[in-house]
Amino acid sequence: MDPEKKMNNEVTVDDILTILGPFGKFNVYGFILILFPVFLAGMYSSVYNFEVMDLKYRCAVPECEDNPHHINFTIPHDMDGEPAKCLRYAPFSNVTNANSSQCSPHFYDTSTEIECDSYVYLEEHSIVKEFDLGCQDWKRSLVGTVHNAGFFIAIPLTGLISDKYGRRPALVFASVANGIFGVIRALSVNYDMFVVFEFLEPAFGGGVYTACFVLALELVGPKGRVFVSLLFNTMFILGGVTVTLLSWWLLNWRYLLFIIYTPAVFVFIYIWSLTESFRWLLSKGRYEEALNVLSKAEKMNKVNVPKDHYEQVEKQATKQRDDRKCENEERNQSTFNQLLTSPMIWKRLFICSFLWISSTLVYYGLSINAIELSGNSYVNYIVILVIEAPANICKLIFLDRFGRKRVIATAYFLTGLILINYGFVPAGNWSILLYLGGKFFITLAYNSLYVFAAEVFPTNYRTSLLAMCSTIGRIGSTVAPQTPLLTKYYEYMPTMIFGTMAAISGFLVLTLPETNNLKLPDSLKEAQDQDKRQDVKETDEKTLADNKTRL
């Protein structure tokens, strides 16, 4: 308990949650319900990679399709001996009629290659065949870009619903929206319809993870929050692995979408089966409903909470609500004006936004490009997802032990070093290990960034500034699906760009103050004092180093 509160004998919601325990029957029941949409969100985050997965196909040569050996003289072959996808040999000018009598080697000019008019698809499990997207890689990449662009709407929309109408309505709305738009997408009759619903699904349902995470955090006390974070990360990874295995097994994008999106519609029953966040109810002055939820938790967990605790929490919530009303106008006018004129805030906002862009670009870019690597695309994607698990565990261990700044900067630098040098390592086991190492360290940096960024902004505007960074950061994930197109110019250009962005991010992290074991800044002045403490610390370290050198 906070010393000041302890001295004043104040009881907080966290004190009641400590008595209730983090893993009682009430909590476990809530976790099971909440984690199901998180699992689904993990599938939805990855499924577009398999909807647009490239297929084996070649140029159609209408006059020769009855001849099984025609590709030896009608289609050029690449270095691996595979028929070219987008080119065929030009027929001599005297060949005018497309009929089987002209399917002979001497009818084709093997020194002249032309683009295809149509294609023969040897696989059928993605939209490439269904909507005839052969040799239109930009249309495949556009699907991923459109999907991630939807989050520009989802983040503020979910936040608005969550704050105004409650955590539970936000969760239900986002999940049901996922289900409805996902199922409609499975019924798409053309590429344009598919892309429209590829955008609408995340635009209205992309905030389900955030809604679930907020509700889960408000369900447990301080000691259970680290575990909740790890649990969410694990379920999200399992969702990605599951949709990969389903895609591998079904080999049909329509069936895949029906199977993974239909369950989301049934989250509608959470309106009756899942309780609202009592923290949110208290903040809105709905004290009777909040205390009913806490009383239900008390009975299910079979513990006894002193009645005066509820009374004190209600009085405290009323006081905080009244204080917010009184301070709201002054805070909006004076503090916000100070915020806009603070170079320190603008500097941190710019740096954190760049870090978010860099992290999402590299994080999602590595996952997307893994499918394009040699070997089994499904295995590649599963491995690139699973490597996130140890990175998340390391985050929990290292951040408190070594400090935010040191861990995040090191992770960015190692990501940059690995990915910049990836192209100079011969293909094989070492190159695979390097690629996985890049994903490991960018996951460590990205997930740690959420903690670090929250600690450098003042309390009054922490949520809005973090939301701004996160929203701007979606630029990176929106651009990431386009990076495989760069391999046409240089095979390792994507990893070179990823590495450069990560290295720049490492240097930028060093310009921010260390926040480990420090009180969160509640005001603009306290946030500015972080820089002063940082300058004093660096001066002391330099003086100590100089003294050691003289000795």
For each of the domains in the chain, give its residue range(s) and CATH number, in order of start: 1-54+132-303 (1.20.1250.20), 57-96+105-122 (no CATH), 337-540 (1.20.1250.20)
Does the pLDDT at position 519 exceed 50? yes
- Give the pLDDT confidence of 175-231 residue by residue, as tens digits: 999 999 999 999 999 999 999 999 999 999 998 988 898 888 777 766 666 678 788
> How far is Cα of residue 61 from the mean position of the Cα atoms in its chain?
43
pLDDT of residue 390: 94
Residue 74's identity, in one-letter code, is: T
β-sheet bridge partners, residue 83: 77
Does the pLDDT at position 323 exceed 80? no
The percent of residues above 70 in pLDDT, for the chain, comes to 81
Does the pLDDT at position 138 exceed 90? yes
- For 314-323, b/e burial (b = at least 16 CB within 10 A) is bebbeeeeee
**Contact between 270 and 172 (Cβ < 8 Å):** yes
Comparing 265 with 541, the larger pLDDT belongs to: 265
Does the pLDDT at position 464 exceed 80? no
The highest-confidence range among 178-187, 202-211, 313-322, 363-372, by mean pLDDT, is: 178-187
pLDDT average, residue stretch 469-484:
92
Query: If you write DSSP's letter for every residue of 345-374 in order, what string do you get?
Result: HHHHHHHHHHHHHHHHHHHHHHHHHHHHSS
CA distances from 248 to 44, 74, 243, 244, 376 (A): 16, 32, 8, 6, 10
pLDDT average, residue stretch 85-99:
74
Q: Name the band, by pLDDT with cuts 50, 70 and 90, for residue 526.
A: confident
pLDDT of residue 96: 54
Euclidean distance between CA atoms 484 and 491, whole angstroms: 9
Contacts 24+ apart (CB under 8 A), 345-352: 345/457, 345/465, 345/524, 345/527, 347/511, 348/456, 348/457, 348/512, 348/527, 349/465, 349/468, 349/469, 351/508, 351/509, 351/511, 351/512, 352/449, 352/453, 352/456, 352/465, 352/469
Structure tokens at 355: 């870090």
CA distances from 511 to 77, 219, 363, 491 (A): 52, 36, 23, 34
Supply φ then ψ for residue 121, to 5 degrees. Answer: -95, 130
Comparing 387 with 218, the larger pLDDT belongs to: 387
pLDDT of residue 335: 52
Does the pLDDT at position 358 exceed 90? yes
Euclidean distance between CA atoms 206 and 198, whole angstroms: 11
pLDDT of residue 266: 95
pLDDT average, residue stretch 269-291:
83
**Contact between 273 and 57 (Cβ < 8 Å):** no
What is the overall mean pLDDT for the chain?
Answer: 84
Instruction: State the residue for tokens 């369900």.
Output: 219
| Per-residue DSSP letter, 79 | T
Residues, the chain: 551
Q: Name the band, by pLDDT with cuts 50, 70 and 90, for residue 109.
A: confident
Query: If you write DSSP's letter for every residue of 257-324 in order, what string do you get?
Result: HHHHHHHHHGGGGHHHHSPPPHHHHHHTT-HHHHHHHHHHHHHHHT----HHHHHHHHHHHHHHHHHH
Does the pLDDT at position 12 exceed 70? no
pLDDT of residue 78: 82
pLDDT average, residue stretch 139-160:
91
Euclidean distance between CA atoms 183 and 168, whole angstroms: 23
In degrees, to the nearest 5, what angle opens at C-alpha 216 toward C-alphas 351 and 286?
Answer: 105
Supply φ then ψ for residue 24, to 5 degrees. Answer: -75, 175
User: Which pTM was predicted?
Assistant: 0.84
Cα-based torsion angle of the residue sequence 521, 522, 523, 526 in order, rounded to the nearest 10 degrees: -30
The highest-confidence range among 20-34, 267-281, 282-296, 326-340, by mean pLDDT, is: 267-281
Query: If you write DSSP's letter for every residue of 220-249 in order, what string do you get?
Result: S-GGGHHHHHHHHHHHHHHHHHHHHHHHHH
Give the H/E segment covering residue 120.
strand 119-121
Does the pLDDT at position 91 exceed 80? yes
Q: Which among 245, 184, 266 is positioned nearest to 43, based on CA atoms?
A: 245
**Contact between 91 and 108 (Cβ < 8 Å):** yes
Question: Per mean pLDDT, which range of 156-170, 221-235, 344-358 is the poorest?
Answer: 221-235
pLDDT of residue 2: 47
pLDDT average, residue stretch 298-322:
69
- Sequence-ordered alpha helix ranges (H) in 403-461: 404-422, 429-454
* SS3 state at 198: helix
Q: Name the band, by pLDDT with cuts 50, 70 and 90, for residue 30.
A: confident
**Contact between 235 and 32 (Cβ < 8 Å):** no
Q: Name the band, by pLDDT with cuts 50, 70 and 90, for residue 326.
A: low
Does the pLDDT at position 478 exceed 80? yes
- For 123-140, b/e burial (b = at least 16 CB within 10 A) is eebbbbbbbebbbebeeb
pLDDT of residue 470: 84
Does the pLDDT at position 497 exceed 90? yes
Give the H/E segment covering residue 108.
strand 108-115
The percent of residues above 90 in pLDDT, for the chain, comes to 42
pLDDT average, residue stretch 440-449:
93
pLDDT of residue 7: 43
- Give the pLDDT confidence of 281-297 residue by residue, as tens digits: 877 778 778 788 878 87
pLDDT of residue 81: 82
Give 549: exposed, middle or buried? Use CB within 10 Å, 0-12, 13-18, 19+: exposed
Euclidean distance between CA atoms 388 and 177, whole angstroms: 28
pLDDT average, residue stretch 15-39:
83
Q: Name the band, by pLDDT with cuts 50, 70 and 90, for residue 533.
A: low
pLDDT average, residue stretch 105-113:
86
CA distances from 198 to 36, 178, 266, 423 (A): 22, 10, 21, 33
Euclidean distance between CA atoms 198 and 55, whole angstroms: 20
- Give the pLDDT confidence of 42-57 residue by residue, as tens digits: 999 999 999 999 888 9
Comparing 469 with 3, the larger pLDDT belongs to: 469
Q: Name the band, by pLDDT with cuts 50, 70 and 90, for residue 233.
A: confident
Q: Name the band, by pLDDT with cuts 50, 70 and 90, for residue 3.
A: very low
